[in-house]
Amino acid sequence: MEAAIDRIMQTYDLLMNRRAAANDEARVKVTEYVTTLFEAGEKDMNRLTVCGLTYLRELDGSNDPVKAGYTGL
């Protein structure tokens, strides 16, 4: 699980240019989220990584389908 969290944070740091305090806050949040997934039975590191990155992008608003042009029609 720690390997997945490290991988998430390395990838997220490449995507976003953020302060160290913001990175620490993001790590705490994604650790809680990935822990929940892990305890629920998800053991695949790749799936944990993708879910963690998606979670962080949703938190910061960069994964907004409306902004991306998806209207659902």
| pLDDT of res. 8 | 92
**Structural domains counted in the chain:** 1
Domain around 50: 2-60
Q: Is residue 72 part of a domain?
A: no
Contacts 24+ apart (CB under 8 A), 11-14: 11/49, 11/53, 12/53, 12/56
Q: Is residue 73 part of a domain?
A: no
Q: Is residue 70 part of a domain?
A: no
pTM score of the predicted model:
0.78
pLDDT at residue 67 is higher than 90: no
Helix 20-39 crosses helix 2-15 at what angle (to 10 degrees)? 140
pLDDT in tens, 9-64: 999 888 887 787 888 899 999 999 999 999 999 999 999 999 999 999 888 876 66
| pLDDT of res. 43 | 94
Q: Is residue 65 part of a domain?
A: no
Q: Is residue 7 part of a domain?
A: yes
Q: Is residue 32 part of a domain?
A: yes
